[in-house]
């Protein structure tokens, strides 16, 4: 029996990340002596597996953790959540620098939810502060952000309605059903901080994600407040009444709805972008976009073309290549690939056992992902002044380029004819980096797959003609050409104070204060709005959690002050956006000559957040009254 438990523990610790394992077991057992100096991760080596710990160090750490866990289980000891001092020591083990720990401590007290509670839940209710207030929030979108907003409003007892054009919750995870679709941010990070889940894979597939959000909607109890098949076509601010009037297109016809505040949770990557290629409408066979997959079309025995090689196309191409008779890929720009061997692997049974026995492991693993992938990688995206190699933007970015080039050379060592077409000539992270476990390179190397890099000249009834005059005949055409990411909140018509039209006001160059507020549009809050996207692999759920907490605090402020609405001041908004632009100019995704959905038609990044995740958390902690005009 004992041997069996030893074996189970051994198997569990063997598949854990050492950097998360030691703090998790130290937290469980209360034994901080486990956090030995010689087993501490090196903050300078975050890019390396296990932060550069040698195999011997890793083995020592696993042995230490296994023994401590065994003793703890034998003793049947209870475990108390860590107090601040213990949390400080645990964080210090991973982060190293005491000052940095102090800076991040309040954020991680929230984000890791180690007390087993939900620290981001509102600590007030409408009944407490303004029971008679006339308030109703309209949330547009029942995806990841909209569900979260609904949940928090429900917790605060604030009346709300969610409006979604689809027939179910899930947003992007409902709409994107293309083969191979999965999340490319590890699920331990890409999940609500307060809803723990036994993920079957490190990077789960679309059906698993959709189930997760469906389950959340049920557990939050928000489903009955969602009106499906209801598209908001217009939102107009009624100056007289100080409220929003929404026009809804439903299956029964058009309707009006009033709300005191509107939260847009429509996402950035929602409306498919079709390429402006001549002859598109002339193609005779089935043609569809990755986000509008036509499951009626059987690809078996067909010649298929995929235009685009972004994150969506790279996922759908390998299964399509399996099914189709022949596949032609039209690539305009190659991707940097980041080695991720566990990308499509199941989470080992041992690790799932560990998470049940040591629930803190999932939290520390989340922290480790957050730390190394986001805050830890930011420096590698910095544009250094005077750097004159166009292949990179600074010393760290160049190290990353070398590492990723070596990876590509290794992946394509047996296909030298492909190598020149797959090594990007732009700096890493200027476009989204793609996760690679060998599946994508293997698809490119197949005999029945052609990679075409000659620019497309036109689409013909029979296929795609490239600039060299060759017509590539195909039966089915798939557009993996991305989304209209810059056209925030389209196609909705939004009219604010004094008849100001949001889209005319933006002129294709969307800006908002904290990604949420636009001057002249009182009580309109955007989630995943302008400049709240993150490039290096952080989780957009983090941003939504920060933004949603902020919206709740704004509503509370309005209710406490007895004000009807708040409108961000133009000068505050402008100054904020100058700061954002300056930040983005110093990041690799702004470099000239690289096109991506990170830039709008003006060449400005209206999408990305250029600073640390901590910075966004700090800025959204509480509304600054001076930033707003209260109406
Ligand atoms: P995308 O990254 O914008 O990729 C669009 C692709 O289409 C690019 O390869 C682009 O080439 C190509 N393209 C566009 N117009 C073209 C034209 N006229 N001729 C030839 N090629 C053309 O879109 P996406 O792949 O849908 O991904 C968008 C974002 O969605 C991702 O960056 C990611 O944030 C998110 N996403 C996430 C996941 C996930 O978590 N699993 C999966 C998919 C997508 P150029 O590069 O030359 O412009």
| Rounded-to-integer distance, Cα 373 and Cα 310, Å | 20
Please report the pLDDT score of residue 537 as a whole number.
Answer: 66
Q: Is the CB of 543 under 6 A from ligand 1?
A: no
Q: Checking DSSP bridges between strand 493-495 and strand 230-238, what pairing results, if any? A: parallel
Decide whether any atom of ligand 1 lies within 6 Å of the 205 Cβ. Answer: no
Q: What is the mean pLDDT of the chain?
A: 95
> Region 205-217: what's the mean pLDDT?
98
Q: State which H helix or E strand residue 440 sits in.
A: helix 439-445
- For ligand 1, whether the C-beta of 275 sits within 6 Å is yes
Percent with pLDDT over 70 in the chain = 100
Residue 242: pLDDT over 70: yes
Q: Which pLDDT value is given to residue 44?
A: 81
Asked if residue 310 has its Cβ within 6 Å of ligand 1, the reply is yes
pLDDT score recorded for residue 48: 80
Ligand 1: does its nearest atom lie under 6 Å from the Cβ of 183?
A: yes
| Tokens (6 digits) for 312 | 């969506």
Measured in whole angstroms, the distance separating CA 376 from the mean position of its chain's CA atoms is 17
Ligand 1 atom nearest to 309, measured from its CA: 9
pLDDT at 170: 98
Minimal CA–CA distance to 613: which of 512, 538, 548? 538
**Residue whose CA lies nearest to ligand 1 atom number 36:** 311
Write b or e for each residue in 414-452: b if 16 or more Cβ atoms lie within 10 A of its Cβ, otherwise e: eeeebeeebbbebbbbbbbbbbbbebbbebbeeeebebb
Q: What is the rounded average pLDDT of the residues 219-233?
A: 98
Rg, Å, the chain Cα set? 25
- Is the separation of the CB atoms in 343 and 8 below 8 Å? no
Protein fold of 280-336+388-479:
FAD/NAD(P)-binding domain (3.50.50)
Mean pLDDT of 592-601: 93
CA distance 433 to 402: 14
Average pLDDT over residues 328-332: 98
Q: What pLDDT score was predicted for residue 614? A: 95
Q: Residue 560 has which token pair?
A: 């406490």
273 alpha carbon – ligand 1 mean position (Å): 9
Alpha carbon of 311 to ligand 1 centroid (Å): 6
- Residue 320 token pair: 């399509």
Ligand 1 close to Cβ of residue 243 (< 6 A): no
Q: How many CB atoms lie within 10 A of CB 601?
A: 11
Whether 531 contacts 607, CB under 8 Å: yes
Q: Work out the pLDDT band at 272, boundaries 50, 70, 90.
A: very high
Question: What whole-number distance in Å separates Cα of residue 137 and Cα of residue 244?
Answer: 10
pLDDT at position 516: 98
341-380 tens-digit pLDDT:
999 999 999 999 999 888 889 999 999 999 888 888 899 9
pTM for this entry: 0.96
CA 422–ligand 1 middle distance (angstroms): 16
* Confidence check: pLDDT of 1 > 80: no
What is the position in ligand 1's atom list of the atom closest to the CA of 597? 3
**Is residue 486 predicted with pLDDT exceeding 90?**
yes
Distances (CA, A) of 506 to 133, 475, 500, 510: 33, 41, 10, 5
Cβ–ligand 1 contact at 480 (below 6 Å): yes
- Report the candidate in 436, 484, 175, 179 with the shortest Cα–Cα distance to residue 327: 179
User: 401-452 pLDDT, tens per residue?
Assistant: 999 999 999 999 999 999 999 999 999 999 999 999 999 999 999 999 999 9
CA distances from 567 to 11, 570, 625 (A): 56, 9, 10
The rounded Å distance from CA 399 to ligand 1 centre is 25
The finding on whether 269 has its CB within 6 A of some atom of ligand 1 is yes
- At 46, the pLDDT band (50, 70, 90 cuts) reads confident
Residue 482 CA, ligand 1 centroid: distance in Å: 4
For residues 125 and 118, give the distance between their C-alpha atoms in angstroms, rounded to a whole number.
16
Q: Residue whose CA is closest, atom 35 of ligand 1?
A: 311
Q: Is the CB of 309 under 6 A from ligand 1?
A: yes
Beta pairing partners, 466: 456
pLDDT for 79 equals: 80
Task: Tell me the CATH number for domain 133-271+485-630.
Answer: 3.50.50.60
Closest CA to 169 of 219, 104, 122: 219
Q: Whose CA is nearest to atom 37 of ligand 1?
A: 311
Distances (CA, A) of 72 to 1, 69, 199, 275, 510: 16, 5, 25, 60, 55
The reported pLDDT for the residue numbered 408 is: 98
In whole angstroms, what is the distance from residue 254 CA to residue 392 CA? 53
What is the Cα–Cα distance from 39 to 22, expressed in whole angstroms? 9
Could you state, in order of their start, the residue ranges of all structural domains in the chain?
Answer: 2-119+353-376, 133-271+485-630, 280-336+388-479
Q: How far is the CA of 170 from the centre of ligand 1 (A)?
A: 21
DSSP structure class, residue 80: P
pLDDT band at 472 (very low <50, low <70, confident <90, very high): very high
594 CA to centre of ligand 1 in angstroms? 13
> From the CB of 482, is ligand 1 less than 6 Å away?
yes
Measuring from atom 10 of ligand 1, which residue has the nearest CA? 308
> Do 280-336+388-479 and 133-271+485-630 fall under one CATH topology?
yes
């Amino acid at each position: 029996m004992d041997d069996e438990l030893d074996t189970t523990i051994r198997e569990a610790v063997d598949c854990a990340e050492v950097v998360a394992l030691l703090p998790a077991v130290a937290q469980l057992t209360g034994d901080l002596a486990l956090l030995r100096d010689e087993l501490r991760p090196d903050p300078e080596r975050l890019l390396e597996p296990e932060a550069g710990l040698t195999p011997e160090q890793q083995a020592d750490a696993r042995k230490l953790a296994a023994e401590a866990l065994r003793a703890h289980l034998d003793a049947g000891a209870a475990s108390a959540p860590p107090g601040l001092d213990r949390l400080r020591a645990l964080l210090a083990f991973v982060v190293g620098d005491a000052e940095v720990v102090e800076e991040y401590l309040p954020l991680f007290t929230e984000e890791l939810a180690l007390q087993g509670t939900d620290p981001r839940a509102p600590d007030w209710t409408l009944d407490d502060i303004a029971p008679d207030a006339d308030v109703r929030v309209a949330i547009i979108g029942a995806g990841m952000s909209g569900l979260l907003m609904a949940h928090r409003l429900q917790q605060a007892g604030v009346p709300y309605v969610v409006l979604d054009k689809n027939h179910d919750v899930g947003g992007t995870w409902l709409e994107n059903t293309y083969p191979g679709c999965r999340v490319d941010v590890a699920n331990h990070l890409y999940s609500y901080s307060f809803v723990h889940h036994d993920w079957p894979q490190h990077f789960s597939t679309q059906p698993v994600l959709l189930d997760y959000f469906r389950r959340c909607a049920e557990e939050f109890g928000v489903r009955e407040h969602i009106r499906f098949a209801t598209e908001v076509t217009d939102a107009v601010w009624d100056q007289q009444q100080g409220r929003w009037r929404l026009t809804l297109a439903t299956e029964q016809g058009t309707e009006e709805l009033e709300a005191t505040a509107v939260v847009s949770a429509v996402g950035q990557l929602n409306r498919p972008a079709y390429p402006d290629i001549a002859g598109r409408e002339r193609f005779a066979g089935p043609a569809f976009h990755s986000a509008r997959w036509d499951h009626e079309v059987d690809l078996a025995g067909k010649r298929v073309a995929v235009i685009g090689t972004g994150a969506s196309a790279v996922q759908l191409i390998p299964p399509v290549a399996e099914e189709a008779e022949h596949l032609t890929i039209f690539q305009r720009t190659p991707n940097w690939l980041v080695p991720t061997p566990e990308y499509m692997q199941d989470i080992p049974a041992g690790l799932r056992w560990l998470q049940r026995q040591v629930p803190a492991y999932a939290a520390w693993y989340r922290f480790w992902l957050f730390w190394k992938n986001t805050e830890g990688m930011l420096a590698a995206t910095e544009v250094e002044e005077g750097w004159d190699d166009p292949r990179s933007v600074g010393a760290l970015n160049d190290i990353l380029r070398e590492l990723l080039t070596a990876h590509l050379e290794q992946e394509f060592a047996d296909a030298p004819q492909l190598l020149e077409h797959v090594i990007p000539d732009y700096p890493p992270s200027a476009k989204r980096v793609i996760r690679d476990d060998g599946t994508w390179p293997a698809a490119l190397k197949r005999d029945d797959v052609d990679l075409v890099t000659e620019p497309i000249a036109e689409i013909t009834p029979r296929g795609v003609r490239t600039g060299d005059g060759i017509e590539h005949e195909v039966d089915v055409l798939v557009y993996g050409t991305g989304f209209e990411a810059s056209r925030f909140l389209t196609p909705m018509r939004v009219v604010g104070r004094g008849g100001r039209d949001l889209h005319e006001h933006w002129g294709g160059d969307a800006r908002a204060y904290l990604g949420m507020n636009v001057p002249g549009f009182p009580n309109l809050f955007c989630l995943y709005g302008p400049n709240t996207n993150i490039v290096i692999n952080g989780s957009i759920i983090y941003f939504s959690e920060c933004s949603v907490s902020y919206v709740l605090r704004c509503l509370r402020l309005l209710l406490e002050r007895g004000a009807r609405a708040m409108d961000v001041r133009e000068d505050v908004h402008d100054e904020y956006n100058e700061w954002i632009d300056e930040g983005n100019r110093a990041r690799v995704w702004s470099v000239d000559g690289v096109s991506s959905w990170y830039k709008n038609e003006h060449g400005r990044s209206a999408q990305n957040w250029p600073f640390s995740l901590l910075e966004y958390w700090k800025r959204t902690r509480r509304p600054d009254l001076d930033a707003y005009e209260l109406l």
